[in-house]
Amino acid sequence: MARLARLELSVEEIEPMARELSAVLDHIAKIGELDLAGVPPTSHVVELTGALRADEPRPSLPREVALAQAPAVDQDGFLVPSPQA
């Protein structure tokens, strides 16, 4: 789970984290007791649909602004270690 979330847990952190998560999971698993047959899920509490936007251009950020907060920059782009396969 930590790997999926790109979180690295140090050795000391794993045990208490696992314990805490376990406890929380026990509580939330209680919803398993409910009879929810035929109940539709709510993904959006707002009942509207649509809210599409017209295909009209808006000004982009100047490059210096886009790069201003970057931890590492090279050749006008964001520099990162290369992905291996």
Partner 1 sequence: MTDILGLSAAQAAAAIEKGDLGAEELFVFYRERARADADANGGGLNCFTWVAEGISDTPLESGPGWSDGDGTAGAGPLAGVPLGVKDLFCTKGVPSQSGSRILEGYRPPYTASAVTALTGAGATLVGKTNQDEFAMGSSTENSAYGPTLNPWDRGRVPGGSSGGSAAAVAAGLAPWALGTDTGGSIRQPAALCGIVGLKPTYGSVSRFGMIAFASSLDQAGPLTRDVTDAALMLRHMVGRDHCDATSLQFPHEIELPSAERLDGIRLGIPEELTGEGIEGGVLDAFKASLARAQELGAQVQNVRLPHAPHALSAYYILAPAEASSNLARFDGVRYGMRAPDATDLLDMYTRTRHDGFGSEVKRRIMLGAYALSSGYYDAYYGRAQRVRTKIAEDFRAAFAEVDLIVTPTSPTVAFRLGEKTQDPWSMYLNDFCTVPMSLAGIPAISIPCGLSEGLPVGLQIAGPAFSENRLLDAAHALERALGFDGSEARA
Partner 2 sequence: MTEYEPVIGLEIHVQLKTMTKMFCGCELSFGEPPNTRTCPVCLGLPGSLPVANSRAVHFGLMIGMALDSELAQRSIFHRKNYFYPDLPKGYQISQYDEPLCSGGRLGEVRIHRVHLEEDAAKLIHVGASGRIHGSDASVVDFNRGGTPLAEIVTEPDLRAPEQASEWLKLLRTTLRQLGVSDVNMEEGSLRCDANISLRPVGTSELGTKTELKNMNSFRFIERGIRAEIARQEAILKAGGKVIAETLHFDPVSGAITTLRSKEEAHDYRYFPEPDLLPVAIDEHMIEAARSALPELPAARAERFQREAGLGVDSAQLLAFKAELGDYFEAALAASVVPTPPPQALANWIAGDLVGRLADGEDPGSSRVEPRALAALVGLVAAKRVSVGAGRQVLDRLVLEGGDPVEIVEHEGLAAMDGADELASIVAAALGANVDAAERVRAGNAKAIGPIVGYVMRETKGRADGGEVARLINEQLGL
Question: Binding of partner 2 at residue 60 (CB under 8 A)?
Answer: yes
Question: Binding of partner 2 at residue 25 (CB under 8 A)?
Answer: no
Q: String of b and e for 41-68 (b: at least 16 CB within 10 Å)?
A: eeeeeeeeeeeeeeeeeeeeeeeeeeee
Tell which one of 26, 53, 68, 71 touches partner 2 (CB under 8 A).
53
Q: Which does 11 bind (CB under 5 to 8 A by kind): partner 2, partner 1, none?
A: none
Q: Give me the residue label for tokens 């409910």.
A: 34
Question: Binding of partner 1 at residue 11 (CB under 8 A)?
Answer: no
